[in-house]
Amino acid sequence: MSYSNENIQKASQVFFYLLKNKIVPINDTFGNEYIENLEVREIVKTMADEAGLLVFHIGGNVHLVSNPDNSIFATSYTHMKEKYKGLKKKKYFYLANIIICIFLSEVDKEKFVRIRAEEEGISYYKLEDIITKTIESWKKRNDEEENFSKDWALAIDDIYTLWTLELSHSKPSNSEELPFSKSIDTRLGFIHEALKPLKDEGLIVDMMKESRIIPKDELYERLNYLYHSQERYEEIMGLIEDTKEGF
């Protein structure tokens, strides 16, 4: 199929705008162009596919995300370590992923729970408590069940040692504007660091002054479109929920 030069130019503008912003509201000029112009939408999807990206519209936004495999934009651990200094070793990366999963388990609920989470947010202190109890429970199971860590592909011993022995409890902040220190050597400080990718993607609001994290609609759009169909995501969420029932 041949496209007009005008639509090719418009599609290029839309694509690079998406590449820069990751999430574009449909009432934005470029978001509206993507929604209303079929030819532009097809060209943008082709450009995204060639780059190993996925573009989709759900709710009130157009999203552009990287495919996990065969994408020039896929983020490796090396790239993550360069951008987020707190992920200095792989065990920090593993722990950060568990923290994100536990946070998602708290907000990815029925509609009325989601509304409450969007209004009230999730407390840093509550999240710290759940993380501690979850990791301690997994460590106990790992000691009792020979293949627990292997079966779930979780570095339990590394995560447990880092969280319980190497990271200290929260410390007061030197700034009167913050309730606790952002040092990545503390548990609350590392939670702040671990959730930065979600904040940078525009998926959460980090209300650190109020010690809470608020999920945004864009986060639920990503979960609904991408993660609820992923077997690994559902398995990990199931494991976390089963673990929390034992608290």
Lowest average pLDDT, out of 1-5, 124-128, 166-170, goes to: 1-5
Distance CA 13, CA 5 (A): 12
> Residues 40, 46: contact at Cβ < 8 Å?
no
CA distances from 137 to 132, 133, 142, 214 (A): 9, 6, 9, 26
Model confidence pLDDT, tens digit, residues 156-173: 999 999 999 999 987 777
Lowest average pLDDT, out of 9-13, 16-20, 120-124, 187-191, goes to: 120-124
Percent of the chain with pLDDT over 70: 91
Smallest Cα–Cα separation from 170: which of 211, 138, 137, 133? 211
pLDDT at 74 over 60: no
> Residues 62, 40: contact at Cβ < 8 Å?
no
Higher-confidence residue of 55 and 120: namely: 55
Would you state the pLDDT for residue 114? Answer: 64
pLDDT at 112 over 70: no
Listed as own residue / partner, the contacts of 69-72 with beta carbons closer than 8 Å and 24 or more positions apart are none
Would you state the pLDDT for residue 84? Answer: 79
Would you state the pLDDT for residue 147? Answer: 92
CA distances from 92 to 130, 151, 156 (A): 18, 21, 12
pLDDT band at 206 (very low <50, low <70, confident <90, very high): very high
Would you state the pLDDT for residue 162? Answer: 97
Percent of the chain with pLDDT over 90: 72
Would you state the pLDDT for residue 99? Answer: 97
> Quick one: average pLDDT of 189-213?
94
pLDDT at 111 over 90: no
> Residues 215, 117: contact at Cβ < 8 Å?
yes
DSSP secondary structure, the chain, as one string? ----HHHHHHHHHHHHHHHHHSEEETTSHHHHHHHH-HHHHHHHHHHHHHTTEEEEEETTEEEEEE-SSS-TTPPPHHHHHHH-TT--SHHHHHHHHHHHHHHHHHHSS-HHHHHHHHHH-EEHHHHHHHHHHHHHHHHHHHHHSTTHHHHHT--HHHHHIIIIIISBPP---SSTT-SS---TTBHHHHHHHHTHHHHHTTSEEEEGGGTEEEE-HHHHHHIIIIITT-HHHHHHHHHHHHHHHT-
pLDDT at 130 over 90: yes
> Quick one: average pLDDT of 17-44?
96
Model confidence pLDDT, tens digit, residues 32-60: 999 999 999 999 999 999 988 999 999 99
Lowest average pLDDT, out of 40-44, 146-150, 178-182, 214-218, goes to: 178-182
Would you state the pLDDT for residue 170? Answer: 78
Would you state the pLDDT for residue 70? Answer: 62
pLDDT at 29 over 60: yes
